[in-house]
Amino acid sequence: MTTRLDGASASNLSNMQKLVSAGKAAISKRELTQNKDSASTSNSNSNSDQGGAQGIEERLQKLADLREKGLLDEEEYKASKAKLLGL
């Protein structure tokens, strides 16, 4: 069943979709910035290779979680992962 929208409803729906996308992008950027800040702190506070590896694993998991929640698309995920791994 297909529902037909009038011009105003379609415009409102389009605007809402844009707002949701912008909101997701803002959340992603904020979380990535927070992850980057915690990565800097974690790296400067890490006294062993094991601690650093554990921190990276946690950040990779956070990125994967963001991707699964739809807050990061595949391209953003891959770029963030490469940056985190220093590639």
For the cut 90, the answer to whether the pLDDT of residue 66 exceeds it is yes
Which is it for the CA torsion 75, 27, 37, 67, positive or negative?
negative
Tell me if the pTM is above 0.75.
no
| Dist CA 50 CA 42 (whole Å) | 12
Q: What is the pLDDT of residues 5-41, one digit of tens each?
A: 667 676 777 777 777 777 777 777 778 777 776 665 5
Confidence of residue 61 (pLDDT cuts 50, 70, 90): very high
pLDDT of res. 49: 46
